[in-house]
């Protein structure tokens, strides 16, 4: 039986009260630095049982300016920026080399929240990238050692052989180097916090970096 996609889409609802809480966001109580609010919201998403709250959509553009997006993992956030990692020779790595500017979007439906960021992207020092990789799991190291991300694959058998060899090396050499593994930091010029509201009076609080390095705040229509 074929799926009726339009009917299926119409049957779905956003923010089911049985599984979603929509807490208020009072802009007057928001901190002056978006990193503080992000850290608070992230902790609340974890406490609320959000699955994989550290996954984030990363948007880049190619050398023709055409957009691309994928889901990656957040590796950290501090005064230097929001960090993620990939191979320098992957598609997104090549995009960032040509156009070092990107956007991130977090979505935590259990609380009806989104956080959007965009700004320039810089490479972290190589030693930080190595430390970040080797602080992760054996599986993460094996995946990095497998390499060739975004390159054309001849067959799943080829992947299985390369992956098995990478797993064996990761278990044998937990500090094995991966020259292409790169840690990136997005230093946002803009950060927006979206809090859903049951009557669709959503709160959108936007931070924009000021010339003095501080932040200006404003509200946006939902």
Would you give the distance in Å from CA 191 to the centre of its chain?
13
List the one residue out of 76, 108, 73, 112 whose CA is nearest residue 92. 73
CA distances from 120 to 11, 25, 96, 188, 207 (A): 40, 28, 9, 7, 16
Query: Residue 1 pLDDT more than 80?
Result: no
Q: Tell me how far apart the alpha carbons of residues 150 and 211 are, in angstroms, rounded to a whole number.
A: 38
* Inter-axis angle of helices 126-134 and 138-146, nearest 10: 130
Residue carrying the six token digits 């229509």: 221
- Comparing 104-113, 145-154, 179-188, the range with the smallest average pLDDT is 145-154
Query: Residue 77 pLDDT more than 80?
Result: yes
- Is the separation of the CB atoms in 111 and 48 below 8 Å? yes
pLDDT digits (tens, 9 = 90+) for 21-41: 999 999 999 999 999 999 999
pLDDT digits (tens, 9 = 90+) for 58-69: 999 999 999 999
């Amino acid at each position: 039986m074929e799926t009726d996609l339009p009917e299926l889409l119409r049957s779905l609802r956003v923010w089911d009260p049985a599984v979603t809480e929509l807490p208020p966001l009072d802009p007057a109580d928001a901190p002056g630095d978006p990193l503080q609010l992000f850290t608070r919201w992230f902790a609340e998403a974890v406490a609320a049982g959000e699955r994989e709250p550290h996954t984030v959509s990363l948007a880049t553009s190619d050398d023709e300016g055409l957009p691309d997006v994928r889901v990656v993992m957040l590796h950290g956030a501090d005064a230097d920026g929001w960090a993620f990692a990939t191979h320098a020779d992957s598609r997104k790595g090549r995009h960032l080399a040509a156009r070092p500017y990107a956007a991130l979007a977090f979505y935590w439906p259990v609380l009806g929240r989104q956080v959007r960021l965009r700004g320039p992207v810089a490479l972290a020092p190589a030693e930080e990238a190595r430390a970040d990789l080797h602080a992760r799991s054996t599986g993460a190291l094996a995946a990095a050692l497998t390499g060739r991300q975004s390159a054309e694959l001849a067959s799943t058998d080829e992947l299985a052989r390369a992956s098995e060899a990478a797993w064996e090396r990761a278990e044998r050499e937990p500090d094995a180097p991966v020259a292409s593994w790169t840690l990136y930091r997005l230093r946002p010029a803009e950060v927006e916090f979206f809090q859903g509201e049951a009557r669709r009076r959503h709160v959108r609080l936007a931070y924009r970096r000021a010339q003095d390095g501080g932040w200006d705040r404003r509200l946006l229509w939902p």
